[in-house]
Amino acid sequence: MIVVTGASGNVGGQVVALLATAGERVTAVSRRTAELPEGVRQVRADLDDPAGLKDAFDGAEALFLLVAGQDPQAILDAARAGGVRRVVLLSSQGAGTRPEFYRHPVAFEDAVRRSGLEWTILRPGGFHSNAYAWAESVRGGRTAAAPFGDIGLPTVDPADIAEVAATVLREDGHAGRVYELTGPAPTTPRDRAAAIGAALGTPVRFAEQTGEEARAQMLRFMPEQVVEGTLAILGEPTDAERRVSPDVERVLGRAPRSFADWAGRNVAAFR
Ligand SMILES: NC(=O)c1ccc[n+]([C@@H]2O[C@H](COP(=O)([O-])OP(=O)(O)OC[C@H]3O[C@@H](n4cnc5c(N)ncnc54)[C@H](OP(=O)(O)O)[C@@H]3O)[C@@H](O)[C@H]2O)c1
């Protein structure tokens, strides 16, 4: 049995669906009730309360773990006590490139490495799906606002992250690996707005935000440290952050999906 945390979310929901389709027994963990494929066991629990995870982990062999909750060591102890032998952690590129800003994922990576479990760490860069932040302004006024409109980064499709996670959870040969997950090519925010326009068949205007405007918007839903790290990556990416990683193709045997492909599959959110 495989336990998937974040099952009500973007990546976790897709990991659950892929594992269930592959015939695995799955326990889906989240605080909210998630819509799940038939046969998937749902456990509502908070990663901030590791004692409450006992039921979820009972009889499990593998765990897909998100960075959530404050005590990764206690989560991993509960997992091991329940029978888990393999853990796949969804960390973040910033844990490698800007550890001073990304302390939460760094703490989870350290705990996973020390856990005694067979581990694999996934470090995605920015997600294609961060463009959902534009859904309302594109629907209402065909406008997309972001800072650093001409700086390119190889954002990654959450569907590819989920497919890598589902593969690594089921397949041997990935123990002790850290996979950097990116898309197939850098795109700028201006390119991404244009790709959404192309998917809609009508232009989307790109509006350049100042760093201050973006900071104020991001502080509404991200901790301050992560906002500073994210703005640094978006505005002054290092070579490592601009680099297209070979790891999605290494694991899946096919190229990662482009932003334009994501926009085409998710165009309904912008209509
Ligand atoms: N977006 C990016 O550019 C980016 C880049 C690198 C890494 N990441 C990482 O990728 C992760 C997944 O992204 P996503 O798009 O799938 O996020 P999402 O759609 O917001 O889903 C987050 C999931 O985490 C669960 N969760 C949050 N806190 C929890 C807690 N205390 N206990 C149990 N479950 C909890 C939520 O479920 P409930 O609310 O139902 O509990 C939800 O299922 C993010 O959390 C982030 O750390 C994101």
What are the pLDDT digits (tens) for 220-235?
999 999 899 999 999 9
CA distance 95 to 87: 18
Ligand 1 atom 7, closest CA = 92
Position 102 scores a pLDDT of 94
Structure token pair of residue 217: 């918007």
Model confidence, pTM = 0.97
From the CA of 165, how far away is ligand 1's center (Å)?
14
Q: At how many degrees (to 10) do helices 103-114 and 72-82 cross? A: 30
Q: Considering only CA atoms, which of 254, 91, 239 is closest in space to residue 153?
A: 239
The CA 124 to ligand 1 mean position distance, Å, reads: 13
Running DSSP on this structure, what letter comes out for residue 153? Answer: B
- Residue pLDDT, tens place only, 8-46: 999 999 999 999 999 999 999 999 998 999 999 999 999
The lowest-confidence range among 94-98, 182-186, 200-204, 223-227 is 223-227
Task: Give phi and psi for 177, each to the nearest 5.
Answer: -100, 145
How many A from CA of 10 to the centre of ligand 1?
7
Q: How far, in Å, is the centroid of ligand 1 from the Cα of 14?
A: 12
**Of ligand 1's atoms, which has the minimum distance to the CA of residue 93?**
6
Q: What is the pLDDT of residues 189-205, one digit of tens each?
A: 999 999 999 999 999 99
User: Which mutation among 11, 98, 157 tests ligand 1's pocket best, with the greatest number of atoms within 8 A of CB?
Assistant: 11
pLDDT of residue 229: 92
